[in-house]
Structure 1
Amino acid sequence: MSAVQTAKDLAANATSSITNLTILISGASGFVAAHVLNAFLQRGYNVRGTVRSDATAEKVMKSHSKYLKQLSFAIVKDVAAPGAFDEAVKDVDGVIHTASPFVMEVENNERDLLDPAVKGTTEILKAIKKNNPAVKRVVITSSFAAIVDISKGNRPGHTYTEADWNPVTWEAAKTGPGGVAYSASKTFAEKAAWDFVEKEKPNFTVATINPPMIYGPIEHGVTDLAHLNTSAADIYRFINGSTKEIPETGFPAWVDVRDVGEAHARAYETAGAAQQRYFITSGNMTYREICDIIREEVLEVAAKVPQSAPGAKDPETYNVSNAKATTELGMTFIPLRQSITDTVRSLLKLEQSVGKQS
């Protein structure tokens, strides 16, 4: 198998074998996880998702109702608890670990963010090594937060790649603001995975997926627009009348969630992805561009979308490179206009089903 072998190639060679394979996807009810599920289910894999309760499993079955014959679930109430994944990993062929807290403000950075992220990663890796030596590939959802050096700000002239690492320290993360603590949680969780592989030398290899800000349609179970996932809420504020001015673009790198899901599947299937990290990004954007796209493409909300002052300019910022993902995984990326339009349409559809929230 070549280092670059797409899902289409694999499907042509092994369609019948894929239907006999089961992939464990942790945190199956999340925004990103919904699209990771799609990527594997559409290929014909069986998927066992970890969720915190039977009620959450019901939500996933509802959102992925056309794949019920391929879906099963394992209850994992606390991903950081010792032995949490011991049963869930048994008899699966591959593991995709998406479960990790995505919150910016907590009471205690170490207890509520850093420890759960790190222990959730190490616990699932320990469980695989202990209970299922047949697993050969584990794909972990990391983040651009583990790549970017927040302390350097916009960093014009620099191009971020997989070679970059967030240099944050544990001590700084314990007492730092929410954004620093979240970025640190992703950094230390990913480093814990690489340290585990180096020290424990398990039968499996690891690949990490490092997306930045993730936009795209909502396909997980959402019942309240007041509690959207972070990136969906980032767009919803532009169409519900709550934001009157275009804010500064804090994190300009972005990607569509459907590409993130696809990248997980390709990283699992591609032989050359062993022990690799992949920066999954479509490039840079600004909130000004996003607002312009919404006004041009979704006319029914155009009047609510904030506009920038005439002649306003955005500051220069860093560049990002997806060369490794395109070369090694064969990725192509959804453009910003399509992603934002689909995101807004998804939010409007959600409004109709659960009621508006301003």
Structure 2
Amino acid sequence: MKKVGIIGGSGFIGSYITQEFLNNGFLVEVSATDITREDKYEHLMALNHSDNLHISELDVTEKTTLQDFVSDCDIVIHGGTPFILDFEDAQSQLFDPTIKGTENFLEVISQTTGIEKVVFIASVAAWNTNFPMPAGTKNFKDTFDENDIRFTSTESHPYAQAKFMANQVVEKFVKDNPNLSFEISSVSPVMVLGKSMSNREDSTSSAIQYLIKNKIAPDDFFQALYDNDMPFAIVDVEDVAKATFKVATTKGLHGKDYLLTSETYKVSDMSAMLNNQEPKEKPSIIYKNDLAKKDLGIHFRAVRETLNNYTD
């Protein structure tokens, strides 16, 4: 059996990726930042084929434990960067674990034999740090795909800036190392929504859905979303997992970074669908998924199905 190491494999997206690999006959090693916090990964033990699952404690900023984690893996998925919107210290909570963690990871895997494929779970922020606002001079109706120029701004949220910088680190590594013995690819999902596998109360994605469903504004950011009826490009968490698995198990995708996205809806219609009501407007296609559909054969489900599937 081949083995995959999934950094962040118990998180909102990572749990579905873990499930996908288990269902396809892989040995799966999942990282936990604190292995004593069983509430963060116990839901994985209920998955089919969980006898092929192993949980290991890992700090991505520590090279020694990182080396141990990837040492016998055929495939490594890196989705372990923090998704924190309400932070106290951007440097220690976002920039260091995201950027330094990526740098350490690349250094370690470049010295590890046997790895065939590495996949980074990036973010739409790697393409546009102003998301959900348009990139640069674009407007809300202008489309965006992998042929567009990446956009960043120092005015963007630190989480988005950190994801953008981490992607730059990966791109530079690929460019500076043309003779790697393994492939590196990335996936960049837009706003990832759907049903969480766990009952964790610290899930940012689940919290966002709960707030929008109930039209709660805990801060000025959310109030602005409602006041401006902000449109969001959305993708289903299960589709992200399927696309990640396909990228990880398909050869010839070295250096590619796929936007994973479905339809765009305004916040008011997102709230309606989260409450199993009809949206007032038809969806638009802003962020395009043509490359992922072409290369990976992924069918992205309608956002209505995703939001109707959320329960809380």
State the TM-score bracket (shorter-chain normalisation).
Answer: 0.7 to 0.9
Deviation, structure 1 residue 341: 1.0
Match of 2:51 in 1: 69
Contact 1:249 1:287 in 2 (8 A): yes
How far apart are the structure 2 equivalents of 1:256 and 1:164? 23
Whole-angstrom distance in 1 between the partners of 2:170 and 2:129: 20
| Relative contact order higher in (CA < 8 Å, ≥ 6 apart) | 1
Inter-CA distance 339–238: structure 2 relative to 1 (3 Å threshold): same
Residue 268 (structure 2) aligned to one of 285, 288, 292: 288
For residues 62-118 of structure 1, what are the alpha-carbon distances to aligned partners after superposition, in whole Å with 9 as ceiling and x for unaligned? 334233211012211x31234341100111110000000111233333333122211
- The CA distance in 1 between the partners of 2:4 and 2:276, in whole Å, is 41
CA distance in 1, matches of 2:53, 2:69: 14
* 1:159 is aligned to 2:136: no
CA distance in 2, matches of 1:32, 1:279: 15
Please point out which of 2, 6, 13 is paired with 1:32: 13
Quote the offset at 1:240 in angstroms: 4.7
Kindly indicate whether the alpha-carbon contact (under 8 Å) linking 1:49 and 1:74 is maintained by their aligned counterparts in 2.
yes
The higher radius of gyration belongs to 1
1:326 aligns with 2:300: no
Count of equivalent residues: 300
The CA distance in 1 between the partners of 2:252 and 2:198, in whole Å, is 31
1:283-342 CA-partner distances (Å, limit 9, x unpaired):
2111222233244459xxxxxxxx99xxxx99x998211000000000101211110011
Contact 1:146/1:165, CA 8 A, preserved across alignment:
no
Aligned equivalents of 2:144, 2:213: Cα separation in 1:
31
Give the conservation status (yes or no) of the 8 Å contact 1:122–1:196: no
Q: C-alpha root-mean-square deviation of aligned residues, in Å?
A: 2.9
Q: Does the alignment pair 1:206 with 2:184?
A: yes
1:191 is the counterpart of 2:168: yes
Distance change in 2, residues 1:35/1:165 (3 Å) = farther
Q: Which residue of 2 aligns with 1:145?
A: 125
**Match status 1:42 vs 2:18:** no
Distance 1:181 1:153, change over 3 A: farther
Deviations 1:191-221 (A, max 9, x none): 1112122224431111101001111010135
Q: Unpaired runs of 5+ in structure 1?
A: 1-19, 299-306, 348-358
The answer (yes or no) to whether the contact 1:278–1:324 under 8 Å persists in 2 is: yes
5 Å matches for 1:1-358? Answer: 20-56=1-37, 59-65=40-46, 66-76=48-58, 78-130=59-111, 132-148=112-128, 150=130, 152=136, 155-168=139-152, 172=154, 176=155, 179-200=156-177, 201-222=179-200, 224=201, 227=202, 229-240=203-214, 242=216, 247=226, 248-250=228-230, 252-296=232-276, 319-343=286-310, 345=311, 347=312
Q: Which sections of structure 2, spanning at least 5 residues, go unmatched? A: none
**Equivalent position SS for 2:148:** coil
Q: Write the letter of the residue equivalent to 2:4.
A: I
